[in-house]
Chains A and B, each alone.
Chain A
Amino acid sequence: MALLELNDVTKLFGKLAAVEDIDLQVEEGEILGIVGPNGSGKTTLINLISGYYKPTRGDIYFKGRKISGLRPDQIARLGIVRTFQSNVLFEGASVIESMMISSRLQYKTSDWQAFFNTRTYKDEQEKVVGNLLETLQLLDIFNETFRPAAALSHGYQRMLGIAAALAANPSVLMLDEPTTGMNHEEAMFVVENIKKINQQGITVLLIEHNMKVLLGVATRVVVLSFGNKIADGDPYEMMSKPEVIEAYLGTETV
């Protein structure tokens, strides 16, 4: 059984279908690339899985449990965490503060223990901060730990977004176009980091409209066009499929 399963999921905005009858299985441990031209429903798909939108029809299952209809925070608690396309996390916060805020799900202590600053809470906090620093180290932004997040370069800000999502202890990480607005070098930095994250045993769902980025990293690719799934399989095979080339013609060079 797949880790994450979408069964005939449809989302309508008025009469317009943003995604239509999508069937999708995400296997544990893979890096699944979801690709398609702008407006093909990629981000809507993430919004549906993360609970930001409720599907109009169809169900979403995670580890055999139905998650469509749950709130985003409940879904995050189950282990599906996403990033956003915007750079700003928490206005005015430094890198480590952003990470601390995002690490809420790593704590097992209750808010009362946190309030009274008990021994158990302090120990746990020490552990969590250690984990957070490790995450920053893993993603090569450790040197920025104490800088205001807003002062980071664009690429580092996107990495911080990913680091914050990792701070929430995901088993499935959904990345929403992590390389937009980056040159090739920066994009490769992100790709390397995605591989590192995947090696930690985290399943990655990677939304991209740049096929080149996906080729280097994805183990499987799903192509969307106008809200429909038109292809599913090995990234290199995708390149040669006529329907994929057609979907991309005029919008993006493959």
Chain B
Amino acid sequence: MIIGRYYIDQKSVVPKIVIGAVIALLALVPLFTTSMVTLSTLISSGIWSIAVMGFILILRTGQFSMGQAAFMAIGGYVSAILTVRLGLPYWPSFLAAGVISGIIALGIGLIVLRAGGTSFSIITIAFGEIVRIVALNWDDVTRGASGILTKPPAPITIGNFEINFATNLVPFYYFMFFLVIASALFFWQIDRSRVGGTFRSVAANPVLAEHLGIHLMKYRVIAFTMAGVFTGFAGAYYVTFISVINPLIFDLWKSVQIMMMSIVGGPTLIVGGAIVGSTVLYSLGNYLTQLPVANVQYLVFGAVVVLVLLFLPKGTGLVDLWGKFWRKVFKEPEEYEIPGEFSQEDEE
């Protein structure tokens, strides 16, 4: 279900075949290049895009969470502590990271979503700071400021073919690929299903939605919890990839970065916007940190977000620009969206 021009249906902007081609191309990337830079940029972008999808899902209910990096930190610490400090195997720990992050999101959501709106944003900032301070000071568990060196998953041997995460980036790439596809399918499906419509109604007119029988808190908490689960997975995998976790990795700046990625990509499309935004900003950031000017990354990110907001129509981000281009090239009329399933009824 779609509400208005803010929420353009993905298939109306980009045909399925183009999406399929892009996915196929991305699946084959490791065959063309083994360049460390390319692969690690893509891996990181992909992981961040999962967190961005979570952010956009919360945004669908009209809430602006500024503590999403904290859930990445929780996921990261859970998996690091379970694998390194308790010696559990990687994959169960990875699952536990998402589950525990989700449970914490559920608890936090039940408390702070009561406030809602701007207060919610402020409290999520405070929550992010709490997580960072706890990670910094709880030496016995988190090893404080020095952090934990994470372990990659154990090699998997199938016949005489070995998948070794420790020596090669390609397995990392493919698991990222799987993770992004799985998350994308989940978020895309929930966004277009009846639940997604309910989320939007909660954001668009909470008072009316409540009087039409929608329990506002329930849906806000659902969105926040689901985002928490997937953000936890993303965090767990990210720290495995960069092979360390410490309190500095997921600070307030990273939460804001997640928000920035969603804005630059365009929150109208939960999957497309997240992937475009995270890839563009992550690659840009990667390039900027190599420049010999300190802090230029902050400046440019800030400027890019403000410029995107000012010059792309009403905060629809880069994906909408793509949609405009597509319509222009293929001369598709820009008419009001009609959900497919009703068009037959029209003829009755």
Contact indicator A146/B336 (Cβ below 8 Å)? yes
CA distance A97 to B204 in the complex (A): 13
**Chain A residues, CB < 8 A from B338:** 94, 146
**Chain B residues, CB < 8 A from A50:** 211
* Contact A92:B336 (CB < 8 A) given known A77-B213, A146-B346: no
**Chain B residues, CB < 8 A from A81:** 211-213
Within 2-18 of B, Cβ neighbours of A (below 8 Å) are at 2-7
Contact indicator A101/B200 (Cβ below 8 Å)? yes
Flag whether B243 is at the interface (Cβ < 8 A).
no
Contact indicator A97/B190 (Cβ below 8 Å)? no
CA distance A147 to B14 in the complex (A): 23
Flag whether A148 is at the interface (Cβ < 8 A).
yes
Among B97-105, B146-154, B166-174, B191-199, the stretch that binds chain A is B191-199
Contact indicator B5/A76 (Cβ below 8 Å)? no
Flag whether A217 is at the interface (Cβ < 8 A).
no
Nearest CB on B from A40, distance (A) = 22
**Chain B residues, CB < 8 A from A129:** 341-342, 345
**Chain A residues, CB < 8 A from B56:** none
Complex interface bits, A84-116 against B, C-beta within 8 A gives 1, otherwise 0: 100011111110110011101101000100110
Contact indicator B205/A92 (Cβ below 8 Å)? no
Within 123-155 of B, Cβ neighbours of A (below 8 Å) are at none
Flag whether A36 is at the interface (Cβ < 8 A).
no
Contact indicator A92/B201 (Cβ below 8 Å)? no
Flag whether A37 is at the interface (Cβ < 8 A).
no
Flag whether B332 is at the interface (Cβ < 8 A).
no
Contact indicator A96/B339 (Cβ below 8 Å)? yes
Nearest CB on B from A85, distance (A) = 12
Number of interface residues, chain A, beta carbon within 8 A:
42
Total of A-B residue pairs, C-beta within 8 Å: 117
Contact indicator A164/B212 (Cβ below 8 Å)? yes
**Chain A residues, CB < 8 A from B7:** 92
Contact indicator B212/A76 (Cβ below 8 Å)? yes
Number of interface residues, chain B, beta carbon within 8 A:
37
Flag whether B189 is at the interface (Cβ < 8 A).
yes
Nearest A residue to B7 by beta-carbon distance?
A: A92
Nearest B residue to A50 by beta-carbon distance?
A: B211
**Chain B residues, CB < 8 A from A71:** 210, 215
CA distance A118 to B131 in the complex (A): 40
* Contact A92:B195 (CB < 8 A) given known A71-B215, A81-B211, A148-B336: no
Flag whether A165 is at the interface (Cβ < 8 A).
yes
Flag whether B216 is at the interface (Cβ < 8 A).
yes
Contact indicator A91/B204 (Cβ below 8 Å)? yes
Contact of A96 among B189, B211, B342 (CB under 8 A): B342
CA distance A88 to B3 in the complex (A): 13
Flag whether A52 is at the interface (Cβ < 8 A).
yes
Contact indicator B1/A97 (Cβ below 8 Å)? yes
Flag whether B214 is at the interface (Cβ < 8 A).
yes
**Chain A residues, CB < 8 A from B190:** 115
Flag whether B208 is at the interface (Cβ < 8 A).
yes
Flag whether A224 is at the interface (Cβ < 8 A).
no
Nearest CB on B from A52, distance (A) = 7
Contact of A114 among B6, B193, B204, B205 (CB under 8 A): B193
Contact indicator B345/A168 (Cβ below 8 Å)? no
**Chain A residues, CB < 8 A from B209:** 101
Nearest CB on A from B61, distance (A) = 13
Contact indicator B2/A97 (Cβ below 8 Å)? yes
Flag whether A54 is at the interface (Cβ < 8 A).
no
CA distance A145 to B200 in the complex (A): 20
Contact indicator A73/B214 (Cβ below 8 Å)? yes
Nearest CB on A from B344, distance (A) = 11
CA distance A72 to B213 in the complex (A): 7
Contact indicator B189/A133 (Cβ below 8 Å)? no
Given A104-B198, A105-B213, A129-B342, 12 more pairs with CB closer than 8 A: A72-B210, A76-B211, A81-B211, A84-B207, A84-B211, A101-B197, A111-B194, A111-B198, A114-B195, A121-B194, A146-B346, A168-B212
Closest 7 CB pairs of A and B: A92-B4, A76-B213, A114-B194, A105-B213, A90-B204, A101-B201, A72-B210
